[in-house]
Amino acid sequence: SPPDSPASEPSSALAAGRSAIKPSDFDYLNIIGKGSFGKVLLARYKENEQYYAVKVLQKKIILKKKEQKHIMAERSVLMKNIKHPFLVGLHYSFQTTDKLYFVLDYVNGGELFYHLQRERVFLEPRARFYAAEIASALGYLHSLHIVYRDLKPENILLDSQGHIVLTDFGLCKEGLEANGTTTTFCGTPEYLAPEVLQKQAYDRTVDWWCLGSVLFEMLYGLPPFYSRNTAEMYNNILHKPLILKPNVSNAGRDLLEGLLHKDRTKRLGSKDDFLEMKFHSFFSPINWDDLMAKKCVPPFIPTVSGPTDLRHFDPEFTHLPVSTSLCNTDNLHVTSSVREAAGAFPGFSYGPPVGHAFQ
């Protein structure tokens, strides 16, 4: 249901309890990420000492860039993620006059990108394990008519056990039926599908192209059509045939050829979506029920001593000072633009269902 329909508004009992959640209920310990609209912080909820990742967004920047729709879509997608093991979970969302807050699962095993940079390539069984967990998450989003659109190693995190967690749903497109298409130009240059680059209509198969790009990078060390020169890279994506060196199994090369097919109507996943991944020979060693139940032992367990161990985060962020303005918005000078921002996100706040303990 749309964000502001009565169905998604909590009962009045919860609303009363929920309104109590505010920025000052958290201790903000470190900055662990930065984006175009704000920061992600490691925060401890004072009441139960639990750790969360709190994404704090500046309303005025969102309004200036006309991104309200993306932010509300992100919130809406996060609320549907509750039931999937490989998608980041939302615990709360709330707002102050000038900021939006998402209280999310805290995941501290590092970005896949970070581990790949350190090791250059992954062996095939490890790449297969990650690709399978990512594919199941994408398949779940597609089953809800959501196209993710921004799969890249920076948005793929590892938890402390070594499982995949997809984050950042700001570019998701909702309400795209199985054969529906959209045309918004968005994504990250290295991972853009040909049809997106050509500004043609595209569908959920863009996510399978991106999975192919990420799998290729895991196995070969660089994205498939990579060039330092962006124009040349775009040209490669559109026109250059896929070249696969023989140090990957036949099944792996076959999967990459299927996922990185330039014609989306012939791409692997174009007919039966996730089922085409599930039954591909590359994934034959995977027991999908065990995978979903997290019974498959991850091939790599990140070394973390506890929640405050930030060794897998970029020191560029973690060394930044945490701003005191995070839980202090009382001294805002109320101008007309502040007033506009204050009311621009109706229905943003969310708390867990009644009887669901904050955990």
Residue range 30-64, pLDDT digits in tens: 999 887 778 999 999 999 999 999 999 999 888 98
Q: Which residue has the higher pLDDT, 322 or 131?
A: 131
Q: Which residues contact 172 (CB under 8 A, 6 or more apart)?
A: 73, 74, 77, 141, 146, 147, 148, 149, 150
Q: Which CATH class is domain 6-107+306-342?
A: alpha beta
Least confident of 302-306, 323-327, 330-334: 330-334
Highest mean pLDDT among 166-175, 181-190, 236-245: 236-245
The rounded mean pLDDT for the chain is 84
The topology under which CATH files domain 112-292 is Transferase(Phosphotransferase); domain 1 (1.10.510)
Encode pLDDT of 201-216 as tens digits: 778 899 999 999 999 9
The catalytic position among 25, 150, 272, 289 is 150
Query: Which residue ranges does the chain devote to CATH 3.30.200.20?
Result: 6-107+306-342
Is 64 annotated as belonging to a binding site? yes
Give this prediction's pTM: 0.85
Using DSSP's 3-state secondary structure scheme, residue 125 falls into helix
Beta strand segments in the chain, E = 26-34, 38-45, 51-58, 90-95, 99-104, 156-158, 164-166
DSSP state of 170: T
Q: Is 203 a catalytic residue?
A: no
Q: How do beta strands 99-104 and 38-45 pair?
A: unpaired
Query: Which residue ranges does the chain devote to CATH 1.10.510.10?
Result: 112-292
